[in-house]
Amino acid sequence: MAHLLSASCLLNISSSYKSYGQPLNQVRTPLPTSFTIQTSKSPFKRLVSQRDRAGRSYVVRATAAPVSQEVSAQPRSGSNQPNEPSKPQRVMVIGGDGYCGWATALHLSNKGYEVAIVDSLVRRLFDHQLGLDSLTPISSIHNRLHCWKAITGKTIELYIGDICDFEFLSETFNSFQPDAAVHFGEQRSAPYSMIDRSRAVFTQNNNVIGTLNVLFAIKEFREQCHLVKLGTMGEYGTPNIDIEEGYITITHNGRTDTLPYPKQASSFYHLSKVHDSNNIAFTCKAWGIRATDLNQGVVYGVRTDETSMHEELCNRFDYDGVFGTALNRFCVQAAVGHPLTVYGKGGQTRGYLDIRDTVQCVELAIANPAQPGEFRVFNQFTEQFSVNELAALVTKAGEKLGLDVQTITVPNPRVEAEEHYYNAKHTKLIELGLKPHLLSDSLLDSLLNFAIKFKDGVDRKQIMPNVSWRKIGVKPQTVPAN
Ligand SMILES: NC(=O)c1ccc[n+]([C@@H]2O[C@H](COP(=O)([O-])OP(=O)(O)OC[C@H]3O[C@@H](n4cnc5c(N)ncnc54)[C@H](O)[C@@H]3O)[C@@H](O)[C@H]2O)c1
């Protein structure tokens, strides 16, 4: 716990509103003047030292202007009378300051949904703690939302707090009254969860309790609210049979049943997702909650239509050994002339998708909600690749741009099969209308060009993997001393 606590104490990020209100980057535009501030329990209370326990913290709700008057094409689920004009659906995006959540919040707002972001900003704290940074400069959440309002006239409400704090979450649910809650708000790095005991405990506590609180909030305050929860394809592991979408029909000793597909998670992070899925499935049965579990593949890309509108809206781009996902990481390595780092034999095969498809999939799930009591599972990816295949694609695309791309094999820090069968179904979102952006040459070109544009900001020390699955807790160098 030492690293986590000492970094939190030094930053003292939880002790006052001022800390939240102060952007991590320079403020370039004035903040809206009409924030309303309510007291609540500390959003970072589980991350901070004892001396902060008595400190006040705040729910910050951005109410700079009334919600846009535009009439949405999206019907409000179940609440309208036959002749009543349809009201826009109210969507709460939990984790809306993160990589997938930010792109999704803007996309839904652009499409006419009324959106609120709920986020503890803990992801930005992880960066400080581990000495990491997004390759792209990312603005404070306040500046992001201010810019969005200035460009589109649309307001996205903001609630800053920790969903593990049920009092905060209750206030947020009662205030915003969501028709759908899209839940991205988890610690999402497998390596982070494998650094040491404290990160493993934090990950499972944050993710499992946070999701449990969301389920209770729906039950107690908003029982028609559709939960759209981000899970991961990593929950399934790499079985030697086809992976189905959530359920498998098995005949055993002459009897047949359709059962949840077996889960074989391979990190404390992935295990937290399995626990989430089980809790959600149970509450759908017990309380009639309506839920969609999106088992998402590895996401790549930076730009969506909305994040490209202004540099202040730019999304984060992680390339480091802890938060960087495979393809994004390879593109940055190619851009700076670092060899692509293939872990082990490189036959590890996974599902991948463009971030533009993440936002599309979430919108499709919201627009076609699960029924009360239904626990629906969609495998959310568009193509599957082995690590070696990705390295070959980046090498080819890099050569076209005049880059000399080398590949090296590094000892695999993870415990995983390096050569295996992999065939995962992913038809349900296509049936709902997903139009995939496949990994074409042009997309790789643009991703590489993006990495080249920002290459001067690359910290080469962060590229190599330095968290070992086998030696958990003995890698203190993952938290740089300076
Ligand atoms: N990025 C991927 O490739 C990928 C792949 C599969 C699944 N997913 C899932 O999608 C979701 C989003 O991933 P991401 O890459 O955007 O992650 P991210 O770390 O960029 O964003 C997560 C956001 O949630 C917030 N958060 C975390 N815990 C919170 C809490 N207790 N209360 C309030 N806010 C909290 C963080 O501050 C952050 O802004 C995660 O659940 C992740 O497991 C991501």
How does strand 180-183 pair with strand 226-232? parallel
**CA 246–ligand 1 middle distance (angstroms):** 21
Q: What is the pLDDT of residue 399?
A: 95
Q: What is the pLDDT of residue 441?
A: 81
Q: Which of 37-51, 333-347, 438-452 has the lowest mean pLDDT?
A: 37-51
Show the CA angle centred on residue 424, arms to residues 421 and 425, nearest 5°. Answer: 150
Q: What is the pLDDT of residue 85?
A: 53
Burial class (CB in 10 A: 0-12, 13-18, 19+), 249: exposed
**CA 13–ligand 1 middle distance (angstroms):** 20
- 476 located within any domain: no
Q: Identity (one letter) of the amino acid at 201?
A: V
| Mean pLDDT score across all residues of the chain | 85
User: What CA–CA distance (Å, rounded) separates 421 from 351?
Assistant: 13
Is 273 a residue of the active site? yes
Q: What is the pLDDT of residue 37?
A: 29
Is 455 a residue of the active site? no
Q: What is the pLDDT of residue 41?
A: 40
Instruction: Tell me the per-residue pLDDT of 90-145, one tens digit each, with 9 for 90 and over.
Output: 999 999 999 999 999 999 999 999 999 999 999 999 999 999 999 999 999 999 99
Measured CA distances, 84 to 80, 338, 371 (Å): 6, 59, 22
For 241-314, strand residue ranges (E) read 247-252, 255-260, 290-296, 298-300
pLDDT band at 413 (very low <50, low <70, confident <90, very high): very high
**CA 257–ligand 1 middle distance (angstroms):** 34
Catalytic position from the list 211, 273, 325, 478: 273
Q: What is the pLDDT of residue 77?
A: 44
Closest CA to 466 of 198, 131, 233: 131
How does strand 290-296 pair with strand 349-354? unpaired
Q: What is the pLDDT of residue 45?
A: 38
Closest CA to 417 of 262, 239, 267, 195: 239
Q: Tokens 């307001």 map to which residue? A: 155
Average pLDDT over residues 158-184: 98
Average pLDDT over residues 434-447: 91
We report the CATH number of the domain holding residue 452 as 3.40.50.720
pLDDT band at 177 (very low <50, low <70, confident <90, very high): very high
Closest ligand 1 atom number to CA of residue 298: 3
pLDDT(405) > 80: yes
Q: Higher confidence at residue 349 or residue 65?
A: 349
User: What CA–CA distance (Å, rounded) separates 238 from 403?
Assistant: 34
- 49 located within any domain: no
Q: Higher confidence at residue 105 or residue 40?
A: 105
Answer positive or negative: Cα dihedral of 162, 167, 170, 176: negative
- 29 located within any domain: no
pLDDT(475) > 60: no
Is 18 a residue of the active site? no
For 325-374, strand residue ranges (E) read 340-343, 349-354
For ligand 1, atom 29, name the residue with the nearest CA: 185
Identify the residues whose C-beta falls under 6 Å from ligand 1. Answer: 95, 97-101, 119-123, 162-164, 184-188, 206, 210, 230, 232, 296, 298-299, 325
For ligand 1, atom 20, name the residue with the nearest CA: 98
Query: Which residues pair with residue 230 across a beta bridge?
Result: 294
Catalytic position from the list 99, 261, 269, 352: 269
**Domain with 412 in it:** 90-462
Instruction: Tell me the per-residue pLDDT of 211-246, one tens digit each, with 9 for 90 and over.
Output: 999 999 999 999 999 999 999 999 999 999 999 999
Closest ligand 1 atom number to CA of residue 316: 20
Answer positive or negative: Cα dihedral of 352, 357, 363, 369: negative
3-state SS, residue 459: coil
Q: Which residues of 307-316 are buried (b: 16+ CB within 10 A; e: fewer)?
A: bebeebbbbb
- 421 located within any domain: yes
Q: Are 158 and 70 in contact (CB under 8 A)?
A: no
Instruction: Tell me the per-residue pLDDT of 278-327, one tens digit each, with 9 for 90 and over.
Output: 999 999 999 999 999 999 999 999 999 999 999 999 999 999 999 998 89
For ligand 1, atom 23, name the residue with the nearest CA: 95
Largest Cα separation within the chain, whole Å, is 69
Closest CA to 323 of 466, 196, 207, 189: 189
Measured in degrees and rounded to the nearest 5, phi and psi for residue 437 equal -95, 100
Average pLDDT over residues 442-451: 90
pLDDT band at 8 (very low <50, low <70, confident <90, very high): very low
Measured CA distances, 278 to 230, 262, 283, 345 (Å): 13, 11, 9, 33
Q: What is the pLDDT of residue 35?
A: 29
Q: What is the pLDDT of residue 442?
A: 79
Closest ligand 1 atom number to CA of residue 100: 16
The pair of three-digit structure tokens given for residue 82, joined into one six-digit string = 């036959």
Closest CA to 156 of 69, 61, 29, 50: 61
The pair of three-digit structure tokens given for residue 61, joined into one six-digit string = 């709700």
pLDDT(56) > 50: no
- 418 located within any domain: yes
Instruction: Tell me the per-residue pLDDT of 361-393, one tens digit each, with 9 for 90 and over.
Output: 999 999 999 999 999 999 999 999 999 999 999
User: What CA–CA distance (Å, rounded) separates 19 from 15?
Assistant: 7
3-state SS, residue 296: strand
Instruction: Tell me the per-residue pLDDT of 74-87, one tens digit each, with 9 for 90 and over.
Output: 444 444 445 555 77
How does strand 298-300 pair with strand 349-354? parallel
User: What is the tally of structural domains in the chain?
Assistant: 1
pLDDT(265) > 90: yes
How does strand 375-380 pair with strand 407-410? unpaired
Tell me, what DSSP letter sits at residue 33?
A: S
